[in-house]
Amino acid sequence: MRIKTHMGVSVDGFVATPDGWPVLVSMPGFDGPRSWGHPEFIAGCGAVLMGRTTFLPALGAADWPWPGYRVFVLTSSPLPPGTPADVVSAADPKELLELMHAADFEGDVHLVGGPSTIEAFRGIGALDSLGVVVLPVLLGDGTRLTSPGTGRLPLRLESSRTFPDGAVEHLYVPA
């Protein structure tokens, strides 16, 4: 089991718009799970991992975004009513990592986001792959991929590919 990301990032380093929407969703040509290499990425995953801020909007969605996947949420607050019974949560990333290892699923874990959850798993050495799709847009403001003061993490490029609209997917592993 590897924990890996596949997220959109603006050329100027933002993963979300100033109003909180993922930069992927704000792009012309966004086609949900069929966009920018996501089908190939998610094919090897059996679970998704996110923080509470990313998880909560899914509860109000018309369709559950993760059918067939085990769902893990990093949060110190109780999950709200309406949360599917098989969603697992914990406040400590080490504890949640242990729960993921003990869970019954095959494949890798898609760390959906956000930046705080990525940093929490990076901080315990559990981020195995950082996949970013650099999107051809300058946002100027929003939520950055990393917060100020985040420590350095040298990365090694595993692969890159360019899409017809100019987006470029880079897959990195910690060096």
Q: Which amino acid is at 17?
A: T
SS3 per-residue string spanning the chain: CCEEEEEEEECCCEEECCCCCECCCCCCCCCHHHCCCHHHHHCCEEEEEEEHHHHHHHHCCCCCCCCCCEEEEECCCCCCCCCCCCCEEECCHHHHHHHHHHCCCCCEEEEEECHHHHHHHHHCCCCCEEEEEEECCCCCCCEECCCCCCCCCCEEEEEEEECCCCCEEEEEEEC
Q: What is the pLDDT of residues 28-41, one digit of tens each?
A: 877 766 778 888 88
Tell me the average pLDDT across 87-93.
Answer: 96
* pLDDT in the model for residue 33: 65
CA 119 to chain centre: 11
| Closest of 118, 120, 148, 151 to residue 132, by C-alpha | 118
Which residues are CB-contacts of 140 (< 8 A; sequence separation ≥ 6)? 12
- Domain extent listing, the chain: 37-174
Residue 100's pLDDT band (boundaries 50, 70, 90)?
very high
Q: Could you please state the CATH topology (level 3) that the domain comprising 37-174 is classified under.
A: Dihydrofolate Reductase, subunit A (3.40.430)
Instruction: State the pTM of this model.
Output: 0.91
Q: What is the C-alpha separation between 53 and 165, in angstroms, rounded?
A: 30
Q: What is the pLDDT of residues 106-118, one digit of tens each?
A: 999 999 978 899 9
Tell me the average pLDDT across 23-52.
Answer: 84
Q: How many CB atoms are closer than 10 A to CB 96?
A: 23
**Which of 57-66, 86-95, 131-140 shows the lowest per-residue confidence on average (mean pLDDT)?**
57-66
